[in-house]
Structure 1
Amino acid sequence: MPRATFTFLNHACFMVRTEAALLVCDPWLEGPVLDDAWSLVDDSSRNAALLETLNAAGVPVYIWCSRAQPDHFPLPFLRRFRSEFRGIATFLYRPGRDMRIGEELRRLRLPLAECPDGVTVALAGDLRLTALANGDGDTACLIDCAGRSILNLGDRALATAAECQAAAPRIGKATSRIDLLLTGFGSMGWCGNPEQFALREGAAKAAVERLAAQVERFRPKLVLPIASFARFARADNVWLNGGRMAPRELLEASRLDGVRGVVRFLPPGASIDLQRDTPGTLAAVHERALEHWTERWRKRPPPLPRPPQASLGELKAAFARYCERVTAGMHVLPRLLEAVGPLRPLVLHLPDLRQTVELSYRHGFRLRPRMDGEQRAAHVAMFSGTALQLLRAEDGFDTVYAGGCFWTLRRSGLSTFGRFFLPQRMGRRGADRRRPLKMGGYLWRALVGRMARQLQAALR
């Protein structure tokens, strides 16, 4: 009978090994990401150790990248892989709205293969992978090997019972049962200002509900939580750790009473036999894992420093270059969208400079006069070094938003912030004037999404 093993490496990274191939998923194993905004809860894993394993495997290696965010697609690992790996390897990704994974892999001259949405791709031997689109740029996947099916939902897919119900027929076409479910148990998204602790408690409860709904709908034989073993690491975002559940706290939630028996945690480096292991046989390693993660959750290293302070001159120059890049990709579209209303100038408060500035596609970078209450008139606040990264980096908005290194000052602050940088996000996803149909589709989805949110708010 064919044999297959599953090894949890860290955070969202794991390895599936069969007699004919080895599959690694989302290899973030060391170092902070998102400009030091996130770090691993357990920092003991190393890229060098994984590369040593891959070099010694003696079988074809496949590396699945679920999305372009650096906790799933870490550039330091990719660069080291390119220089040190000595075998046969193929990087796998789903082509779709987000083109960054394919573009970066081609730039690094790494071998790649596309896995179209819903298409089962044969890898080597009996190892197969089916990509499952989940929103803008996100991808879940179904892995088949040695007669076992692994559904990897990561930390975003299928957040409600209704979404699970809607996805079930599609997943059912690819497999008749789920032997192993991999899913997150906590959100790493921005979730309120420092004083808004209730929002973070609500997000933790939603994560519990998400896990319970997935298990109840798909009835897996075993559930391994992954993709939630990171913490907010910088001095200007550590408040977002408040309210997040540690593994043992998660299992104590009453909502999991009916499904707790199939949930098992693993420490980094632990392996299971996909043919033989059950929740019962994993009870001992599960208890050791809970002790391990409890200790790691309690260990709170000093926060990393925020980026060095930037001057107003640096910010003004960076915004001018940002506008040049956006104009090159979209011509007058950002100015037009701001003129007719979908985009609004962004008012940004810089507490370390004690200044408030306005960013506008039509009027450029403008300093607001100092006035009483001017901070409250801003949409969002962030330190000047973060603002400089926001404007300089090609993925500045995605990095700052995911890192959570800002806070809102108006009810409309978050939505205004996101809409203002819509042109940057479109350009990063290939929706520019070179692809007018894709650009139009992206704008249409953004408009429909905004209208839906406004309708929901009006009905509350």
Structure 2
Amino acid sequence: MQIEFVNHASVLISHGDVRLLTDPWYQGPAFHKGWRLLVETPDDTIADLLDRVTHIWISHEHPDHFSIGFFKRWGDTIRARGIKLLFQGIEDQRVADFLRAQGFDLTEMDFGRPYTLGQDFEAICLKDEFYDSLISIRAGGQHVLNLNDCAVADDARAKEIHDVVGDCDVLLTQFSYAAWEGGRENRDWRVAAAQEKLNNIRVQARAFKPKQVIPFASFVAFAHVRNAYLNDAANTPDDVIAAFRDADFDLRVMQPGDVTDGTPDPGAHARAAEFWRAVYARPLDDPMTYDSVEDDKIRASFDGWRDRVFANNSRAAMRLAQKLSPIAVLQPVVIHTDDTGQSWRIDPPAGTLEPTEAKADLVMHSESLNFLFSNSFGFDTLGVNGTFEEARTGGFSRAARSLAIENLNNLGLRFGPGLLFEPRIIGVFLERLRKVSARMKGVGKTEAPTGRDA
């Protein structure tokens, strides 16, 4: 069994006649002009890679894992070679529908079910929270556990996974934060988020007892003029090396093209560390920008958002939730677009978008607001790319409780009879918002609690 690092969250796991590629995002921006890869993969390298691939596994829908650009650019090659695609079997069929419409050979993996991909090559996919999934691969007598973005942050959650997949030989895991982590003045929040990612690796290593740990899925930069400040506390491979200098596992930093069979290679590790050291030392080149969107276009995009929301949710249930929910959901939210000077009051149950002079909850560019209304994943993208600022304490929490309704819809959850009493949903809302509120109150303190990731 061999693992070849390609880029970011993408590796090629090979054994016998099976060569499984994971999460191919190799070129171009992601998250609405919010992220860039630290290094891009050239076309000739991608072409050579696909000549060897038999299967592609996509962990979840986020564009740094499911790159629509990749599948459109290389679709003919994937189809011609008969490469089989693997994705988690979930109610939300947007990714699966896209892949089927492109004519790909897709298998939707049932969680916890072993799939035999070839002789002595077995894969199990497990769900994590709402979006993410992990893959456990047993091949050639070795066990590779790829957690990518899964937030395995405590012993209880690690045990749940361990009860299914057991110990592993090689662990691949995210090593830095990858979402909005407070505003410009809240660097302590980002320092805490970076430290927590290292703590997560400790939890995971303690649970799964890997012989080798490969830090990956964090080789990106916040690359917009509005979010580049978020890079100020991100972990680098050197931070991971320093944190695990005395660990009882082999830490293996990899650069594009490196290959490991799970045995230590101090020379390759050192060369990769030096490669990334030079990459991280480069200044951010040509940060991205947005173009202003006229008010009429924003109104039209809102109309589409409102129609989608009302088509997928009971308007009566939304009104009831606004008035009676044990947490304040679907309340009016005010967003100020600082490039146009306009403030908008959004009331989801009423279906209204109105100019206002009221104090804003969030400040963002008009293109960001238009993107939010234009896409069912818009608020999720906004939360990851971080191209906004909180205008008042609790503004992000308030906006999330109102404008993230399509995130729930994409997961098959609708406002209707019984949703208000669904403990899973209420619990997730309360916990995530508690963390955000605690952090915003803790500006200037280093003991801020945990946040969200991509």
Normalising by structure 1, we get a TM-score of: 0.87
Which of structures 1 and 2 has the larger relative contact order (alpha carbons within 8 angstroms, sep 6+)?
2
CA deviation map 1:227-252 (0-9, x unaligned): 01011011111111111121112222
Q: Closer, same or farther in 2 for the Cα pair 1:218/1:266, shift >3 Å?
A: same
Q: What is the letter of the counterpart of residue 42 of structure 2?
A: R
Distance 2:29 2:323 in 1: 39
1:271 lines up with 2:259 in the alignment: yes
C-alpha change, 1:454 and 1:143, in structure 2 (3 Å) is closer
Q: Could you say what secondary structure the match of 1:150 adopts?
A: strand
The 1:441/1:126 distance shift into structure 2, 3 A limit, reads: farther
Structure 1 residue aligned with 2:42:
46
Distance 1:430 1:79, change over 3 A: farther
Q: Deviations over 1:227-278 (max 9, x none)?
A: 010110111111111111211122223xx34417511101011112x2xx52
- TM superposition shift of 1:104: 2.0
- 2:71 partner letter: L
Corresponding position of 2:347: 360
Please state if 1:84 is matched with 2:69.
Answer: no
The SS at the match of 1:242 is helix
Structure 2 partner of 1:171: 165
| Residues in 2 aligned to 1:363 and 1:129: alpha-carbon distance in whole angstroms | 45
2-structure distance, mates of 1:37, 1:229: 14
* Mapped partners of 2:105, 2:6: distance in 1: 23
TM-score (norm 2): 0.89
Report the Cα distance in structure 2 between the residues aligned to 1:155 and 1:264, rounded to whole angstroms: 18
CA displacement 1:54-101 (0-9 Å, x = unmatched): 23x3xx711101000010000011112322232122111111354332
Q: Is the 8 A contact 2:29 2:35 kept in 1?
A: yes
1:62-101 to 2 correspondences below 5 Å: 62-85=55-78, 86-96=80-90, 98-101=92-95
Inter-partner Cα distance in structure 1 for 2:363 and 2:105:
42
Give the aligned partner of residue 54 of structure 2.
61
CA contact (8 A) 2:36 2:223 kept: yes
Change in Cα spacing, 1:19 to 1:171, as seen in structure 2 (3 Å) is: closer
> Shift of the alpha carbon at 1:455?
7.6
Q: What secondary structure is seen at the aligned counterpart in 2 of 1:122?
A: strand
Q: Is residue 246 from structure 1 mapped to residue 236 from structure 2 by the alignment?
A: yes
Give the gaps of 5 or more residues in structure 2.
439-448, 450-454
Identity of matched residues, %: 26
What is the deviation of 1:451? 4.1
AA partner of residue 367 (structure 2): G
Choose from 407, 410, 428 the match for 1:449.
428
Q: Is the 8 A contact 2:213 2:249 kept in 1?
A: no
1: CA distance between counterparts of 2:100 and 2:322? 35
1:342 aligns with 2:332: no
Q: Is the Cα–Cα contact under 8 Å of residues 330 and 347 in structure 2 kept in the other structure?
A: no
Give the distance between the partners of 1:92 and 1:132, measured in 2 at CA: 13
**Partner SS, residue 144 of structure 2:** strand
The reply on whether 1:423 has 2:405 as its aligned counterpart is yes
Report the CA distance shift for 1:221/1:441 in structure 2 as closer, same or farther (over 3 A): farther
Question: Partner of 2:114 in structure 1?
Answer: 120
Whichever residue aligns with residue 328 of structure 1, its letter is A
Q: Quick check: 1:395 aligned with 2:377?
A: yes
**Cα pair distance change 1:287/1:221, threshold 3 Å:** same
Cα distance in 2 for residues equivalent to 1:268 and 1:171: 28
3-state SS in 2 of match to 1:169:
helix
1:230 matched to which residue of 2? 220
| Corresponding residue of 2:452 | none
Which among 28, 32, 36 is matched to residue 33 of structure 2? 36
CA distance in 2, matches of 1:71, 1:442: 34
Partner of 1:21: 18
- The reply on whether 1:217 has 2:217 as its aligned counterpart is no
Q: What CA distance in whole angstroms lies between the structure 1 residues aligned with 2:355 and 2:20?
A: 52
What residue is the counterpart of 1:5 in the other structure?
2
The count of aligned residue pairs is 432
Shift, 1:8, TM fit: 0.3
Distance 2:207 2:93 in 1: 32
Aligned counterparts of 2:432 and 2:258: Cα–Cα separation in 1: 43
CA RMSD of aligned residues (A): 2.4
1:318 aligns with 2:314: no
Structure 1 residues 263 and 119 mapped into 2: Cα distance closer, same or farther (>3 Å)? same
Q: Distance in 2 between matches of 1:54 and 1:278?
A: 26
Alpha-carbon separation, structure 1, partners of 2:420 and 2:127: 17
2:414 & 2:157 partners in 1: Cα distance? Answer: 31
User: What is the distance in 2 between the residues matched to 1:270 and 1:404?
Assistant: 32
Q: Which runs of 5+ in 1 are unaligned?
A: none
- The whole-number CA distance in structure 1 between the counterparts of 2:385 and 2:434 is 29
2:281 is the counterpart of 1:298: yes
Answer yes or no: is 1:287 the counterpart of 2:270.
Answer: yes
